[in-house]
Chains A and B, each alone.
Chain A
């Protein structure tokens, strides 16, 4: 009898437009901490959602304890002993610690012929569970909302164990924790392992993987790239496995004449996600801003664009200091921002292409505040032609366009404003390969032919490497690295994005 507890083979799962998992495999042994790592979009969440019954695989088999299983919903997975610890989502802040732990399976007793909750047994049960985790300082009667993040997480763990879980899934458990809380969490995880619980541990922080895990599985583009004991691998190898994909479908970048500094920011400050940021972007230059999700890239872009005005620090446009406290002021300074969330921030989806493309330049297409529709329409027609937007015509509602064409409408809105700096936040996320190449070609052309300064945020390293003249790396709200096009490699950039020790590497780079 093997000690294999969970075994998944040939798992496929696709969503409209994307195959999230391709013939992926994964396994967990009894009493094992198994780390699951990969880039954003590699398929980690899909994998654990299949394990926990949120999604059902399109094909593939899953065995628990040697028996084939299939979970139609999270409850079935729960009953089979698979517990998932979400980031705070699973708790009710207005209820007590004990109530949260026993939510859905509170001990009952008959009173006056009615089934009522046995409060005493619930509280003592909660205390016992916490004691098993070596937690003796938590009041089971306290409202969860009054606890700090670390304690809430301990409640989550206790809740998971109240169901006799054999497998506990922890998704980025340390993301919001302080250092001392992290230590406590680690000791609980080790305690659980000793008691025979298996843990699937998802984290971006590789040092945690080495500190805690027994084995590690790397996913990339929905495939399982490797599975090995932590003892026989190292950080560099893991990063390589995570990002080492072929660079394909990317348009070769045009050489551009790099001109004067268009944007310079000095000591930009808006904690927690923008801390002491200083950099510059020149005319004709594409600067890539890399970093993990949550590292503060979008927030920094929005500080520059005035959505989240800076608390302190300077913004200089063409060498002159400017004050930007709202988007309209940024637009007036010649800054355009293609936001990450296309449908919510970039477009007014209910409105037509014509109305969207003129949204940032209403002044220019108006006379005495009256909008000149003919001028608007010709602007829209020009955009449709220049960016080859596939649409019936300028009056088409943007909601009905494909993702790539929607993105082109957003870009054309900002091109209409003739900016000197264009910030593009995940410009090709969620759009198909063809449209992606078109956007890349466009960016490259804008920089080379119109000397546009472009600040590009992207979570895709190949995109960052192929498009950027210079690469900046952010982590936890700070700039932690800068690479020229020549010196940048996937490994170096990824290392700076993820690793604690990258700071020295980055500062050593010229």
Chain B
């Protein structure tokens, strides 16, 4: 190792992190939190923050596979509908088909996974563009959910069922643990494994990936199924949190998820992005929503502010990354 570069010092490492996509976003988040904390004393409290963690679980879980998918240059618009479908299948198989609740949960999440698999199958085998395919299933899965539920909602779950959505473990909301563990695992999977490398390769140049002998179709099928699975899981958690099953659950969540992913630095054209960035995006949006509401800002004004922050964050990041690449 004669010509190997010397190991970077701690300062250099820190500097590199700070000017990365995630670093810049994290700074923006800090500024936002500090600012909101000066507006109201109800915002920066442990209880409030943990409560916000509970609320962002569904978006957070779905944002992980969405990051994977967008990195490959694809998109999944059907996640909200899969959430609704899962919730309905769960309630319906328990109440109408008489499944034990444990089996009903598994059935629900599996049907979500199957829905994602169907997306992947058509995208890979038939060559339907992801945007078109999942736009179609956005309607189709929602319709299925409505058809099965017949506008009835399923209630009356036993006490243990609410543990995941409403309980706490070691003082932290149960589902937040799930998010934390998932983020750690899937951030590592994306950054360090063959799957992760393949996703980046596909997003940058799908033909090149194929010509290198990567199993492109298999990977795509896997991540769309994974997206269905996580949406199903989110559906289950959502039912557990709100104690009831309705077919319109998860409506519009795909836009929150995509906004968080893109805010987190994942290019909508594919090829770049990270799970950590996405999570900062999820947290930033949730904290802005909550903090502004607590400061007495009306909900329509909140949306305007969030939109502006999104654009601002993306501009700042573009500027920083451009300077970095140029130097």
Give the B-binding residues of A (Cβ under 8 A): 305, 307, 326-328, 330-332, 337, 339, 344-351, 355, 359-360, 362-363, 366, 369-371, 393, 413, 417
- Are A359's CB and B5's CB within 8 A? no
- Are B211's CB and A369's CB within 8 A? no
- Does B271 sit at the interface, judged by CB under 8 A? yes
> Closest residue to A329 on the B side, CB-wise?
B213
Task: Find chain B residues with CB under 8 A from A337 CB.
Answer: 211
Task: Find chain B residues with CB under 8 A from A330 CB.
Answer: 213
A351 to B204 alpha-carbon distance, docked (Å): 8
Q: Which of B131-139, B189-197, B296-304, B313-321 contacts A (4 or more CB under 8 A)?
A: B189-197
B286 to chain A, nearest CB (A): 32
For this complex, 16 residue pairs linking A to B, each with C-beta atoms less than 8 Å apart, are A327-B213, A330-B213, A331-B213, A339-B211, A344-B205, A344-B208, A345-B208, A347-B205, A347-B208, A348-B212, A349-B205, A350-B204, A355-B200, A359-B209, A371-B193, A393-B5
B: contact size bracket: 20 to 34
A363 to chain B, nearest CB (A): 7
- Does B324 sit at the interface, judged by CB under 8 A? no
- Does B51 sit at the interface, judged by CB under 8 A? no
Task: Find chain A residues with CB under 8 A from B208 CB.
Answer: 344-349
4 A-B pairs closest in CB distance: A331-B213, A359-B212, A350-B204, A345-B211
B151 to chain A, nearest CB (A): 46
- Does B207 sit at the interface, judged by CB under 8 A? yes
Contacts A349-B205, A351-B201, A359-B201: A307 and B210 contacting too (C-beta < 8 A)? yes
- Does B306 sit at the interface, judged by CB under 8 A? no
- Are B197's CB and A362's CB within 8 A? yes
Task: Find chain B residues with CB under 8 A from A346 CB.
Answer: 208, 211
Contacts A355-B197, A362-B197: A348 and B209 contacting too (C-beta < 8 A)? yes
Task: Find chain A residues with CB under 8 A from B198 CB.
Answer: 362
Contacts A307-B211, A328-B215, A345-B207: A371 and B194 contacting too (C-beta < 8 A)? yes
- Are B204's CB and A349's CB within 8 A? yes
A342 to chain B, nearest CB (A): 10
- Does B144 sit at the interface, judged by CB under 8 A? no
A393 to B209 alpha-carbon distance, docked (Å): 22
Give the A-binding residues of B (Cβ under 8 A): 5, 192-195, 197-198, 200-201, 204-205, 207-215, 271
Task: Find chain B residues with CB under 8 A from A350 CB.
Answer: 204-205, 271
How many A-B residue contacts, CB cutoff 8 Å?
A: 69
A130 to B198 alpha-carbon distance, docked (Å): 56
A397 to B201 alpha-carbon distance, docked (Å): 13
Main secondary structure of the interface of A (DSSP, over half): mixed
> Closest residue to A397 on the B side, CB-wise?
B325
Among candidates A331, A332, A345, A351, residue contacting B200 with C-beta atoms closer than 8 Å = A351
Among candidates A328, A331, A339, A371, residue contacting B197 with C-beta atoms closer than 8 Å = A371
Task: Find chain A residues with CB under 8 A from B192 CB.
Answer: 370-371
Among candidates B5, B194, B205, B215, residue contacting A348 with C-beta atoms closer than 8 Å = B205
A410 to chain B, nearest CB (A): 9
- Are B209's CB and A363's CB within 8 A? no
Residue of B200, B207, B208, B215 ringed by the most chain A CB atoms within 10 A: B208
- Are B201's CB and A366's CB within 8 A? no
- Sample of 15 further A-B pairs with CB below 8 A, known A346-B211, A350-B271: A305-B211, A327-B210, A327-B213, A330-B213, A331-B213, A345-B207, A345-B208, A349-B204, A350-B204, A350-B205, A351-B204, A355-B201, A363-B194, A366-B194, A370-B192
- Are A359's CB and B214's CB within 8 A? yes
Task: Find chain A residues with CB under 8 A from B211 CB.
Answer: 305, 307, 327, 337, 339, 345-346
A224 to B204 alpha-carbon distance, docked (Å): 43
A351 to B208 alpha-carbon distance, docked (Å): 11
B166 to chain A, nearest CB (A): 36
A484 to B210 alpha-carbon distance, docked (Å): 34
> Closest residue to B215 on the A side, CB-wise?
A328
A346 to B209 alpha-carbon distance, docked (Å): 9
Among candidates A328, A369, A393, residue contacting B213 with C-beta atoms closer than 8 Å = A328
A363 to B205 alpha-carbon distance, docked (Å): 20
Residue of A331, A362, A417 ringed by the most chain B CB atoms within 10 A: A362
Residue of B193, B209, B211 ringed by the most chain A CB atoms within 10 A: B211
B193 to chain A, nearest CB (A): 5
Task: Find chain A residues with CB under 8 A from B214 CB.
Answer: 328, 359, 362
A410 to B211 alpha-carbon distance, docked (Å): 11
> Closest residue to B271 on the A side, CB-wise?
A350
B269 to chain A, nearest CB (A): 11
- Are A360's CB and B210's CB within 8 A? no
A360 to B209 alpha-carbon distance, docked (Å): 9
A475 to chain B, nearest CB (A): 26
A359 to B197 alpha-carbon distance, docked (Å): 9
Task: Find chain A residues with CB under 8 A from B195 CB.
Answer: 369
- Are B213's CB and A370's CB within 8 A? no
Task: Find chain A residues with CB under 8 A from B210 CB.
Answer: 307, 327
B163 to chain A, nearest CB (A): 33
Task: Find chain B residues with CB under 8 A from A355 CB.
Answer: 197, 200-201
> Closest residue to A373 on the B side, CB-wise?
B192
B214 to chain A, nearest CB (A): 7
Task: Find chain A residues with CB under 8 A from B207 CB.
Answer: 344-345
A241 to B213 alpha-carbon distance, docked (Å): 42
> Closest residue to A372 on the B side, CB-wise?
B192
